[in-house]
Amino acid sequence: MFNKILIANRGEIALRIIRACHELRIKTVAVYSTADELSLHVRFADEAVCIGPPASKESYLNIPHIIAAGEITDSDAIHPGYGFLAENSEFAQICNDNGFTFIGPGPEIIDAMGDKSQAKITMKAAGVPVIPGSDGNVLSIAAAIKEADKIDYPVILKATAGGGGRGMRVVHNSSDMEKAFNTATAEADIAFGNGALYIEKFVENPRHIEIQVIADAFGNAVHLGERECSVQRRHQKLIEESPSAVVDAELRARMGKAAIKGTKASGYVGVGTVEFLLDKNNKFYFMEMNTRIQVEHPVTEMVVGCDLIKQQIRMHAGDKFPDYFYNLKLRGHAIECRINAEDPANNFCPSPAVVESFHMPGGKDVRIDTHVYAGYRIPTQYDSLIAKLIVRATTRQGAINRMQRALEECIIEGPKTTIPFQQAILRDKQFQSGDYNTGFLETFDYQPDRKD
């Protein structure tokens, strides 16, 4: 096992990783920017190294400074968390080249999954259902029209270097292709330095269902059920749950089997997420694989009862699966709300501020992951996540009730937060029935002052 892990991240996830390390009796090193001097990850790590000024590019994305921090503290592994350098293959390679274990899959696998059209080819070859479309990229407008004629409109153009919703264009007929192709490729080139596009049949109002997988370094892989992440606004997830209201044991077994096939075929090691679209006929299609621990991993932890980050660290230390991994049971229902410092009454405008008072809920099966405390100033440079509130109960309705009770106990004075919006969703008949999809928030009528 590792002696000391450097955490190349900040905020709640840095704290979350420190907690896992300390339970494993692994020493921890925090890195921080000058904006985060008073952060809890700095306080709770065994050591802390300042790696630069507030701008991410000069601190949390500053590879030479992070490697230097690893060297002066004699760390033996680096955990990237999510965001920042988590899916940067160059960083993974540089960690390895400098004698640090990168806590994530190898750089080849990050690259293979980071190229979205290549990842589809890999998954299709492994027998995983993929959305009908081009095998690889479409290199010209003419090629895009030819593919679209085969699969029929509407189609969607996606940046192969993209993911998470950036650089996409829906196309309804051949006369719209030229403009869509040109703007999508230009956008992708600016955003990712790679304008290559692929094309797919556009699936109307799908559900976003992702399967959590974990693989050891000996070719073993299991899935830990699904998370439903269809409650999104402009590709920002607001509420996640497990299990999905529409995934029964039979569908879960098929999706899980497909996810494991893809995981094994790509030679994956560690924790990962296989994202699927589920259409209105409950047919599922591979979309992307995330090669990191995700923000919403606690939803899975609550129903599985394991610590995903401890397991992730063990897999990268070369441990084999424990036997109980093959008999994991999913128990009850979990829901997560991502509480952001944003004003839902004002187009989700960021609301960075000093948190004047801060009280978080407690009680049975209520979990809070946060780095925030009373007096904490939310920096303007980073994402606006204040806290993740996760609850578990025996049934979905029980979990909704528990989340409503827990949200009522939250006191956050200073910034505006997304809590009133999440409360409105939890009250919504359609959400309560479980019959919602990724289009849900597009038509959601949020009335800030209504409390019924």
- CA-wise closest residue to 334 among 240, 435, 242: 242
Is 309 a binder of ligand MV4 (CB under 6 A)? no
110 binds ligand MV4 (CB under 6 A): no
Q: How is residue 305 annotated by DSSP?
A: -
CB of 45 to ligand MV4, least distance (A): 33
Parallel, antiparallel, or unpaired for β 357-359 and 333-340? unpaired
Nearest 5°: the CA angle 160, 162, 167 is: 100
CB nearer to ligand MV4: give 69 or 229. Answer: 229
Per CB under 6 A, 369 contacts ligand MV4: no
Distance CA(118)–CA(112), nearest Å, equals 6
For residue 198, the minimal CB distance to ligand MV4 (Å) is 10
Q: Which residues lie below 8 Å from residue 187, measured CB to CB, with a gap of 6+?
A: 159, 166, 167
Q: Catalytic residue at 292? A: yes
Which of 89, 232, 273, 370 binds ligand MV4 (CB under 6 A)? It is 232
* Selected range binding ligand MV4 among 24-32, 43-51, 117-125, 158-166, rule: CB under 6 A: 158-166
Is residue 115 near ligand MV4 by the rule CB under 6 A?
no
Indicate whether 131 belongs to the interface with ligand MV4 (CB under 6 A). Answer: yes
Q: Which two tokens stand for residue 452?
A: 């019924």
Distance CA 51, CA 61 (A): 10
Min dist CB 440 to ligand MV4, Å, is: 10
Site for ligand MV4 in 266-285 (CB under 6 A): 277
The contact pattern for ligand MV4, residues 235-264, with x = CB under 6 A and - = no contact, is x-----------------------------
Residue 304, H or E segment: helix 297-304
Q: By C-beta, is 232 or 311 nearer to ligand MV4?
A: 232
Dist. CA 115–CA 370, nearest whole Å: 32
Alpha helices in 126-176 (DSSP H): 141-151
Active-site residue among 10, 16, 207, 292?
292
**What residues form DSSP beta bridges with 20?**
none
Residues in the chain: 452
Comparing CB distances to ligand MV4, the nearer of 156 and 188 is: 156
Size of the site for ligand MV4 (CB under 6 A): 17
Say whether 401 sits in a helix, a strand or coil: helix
Based on the shown chain and the rule CB under 6 A, indicate whether residue 199 belongs to the binding site for ligand MV4.
no
CB of 259 to ligand MV4, least distance (A): 16
Answer for which of 36, 111, 200, 296 binds ligand MV4 (CB under 6 A) is 200
Binding flag, residue 202, ligand MV4 (CB under 6 A): yes
- Parallel, antiparallel, or unpaired for β 333-340 and 284-290? unpaired
CA distances from 444 to 67, 120, 431, 435 (A): 46, 32, 10, 14
Q: Which residues lie near ligand MV4 (CB under 6 A)?
A: 131, 156, 163-165, 200-203, 206, 208, 232, 235, 277, 287-288, 438
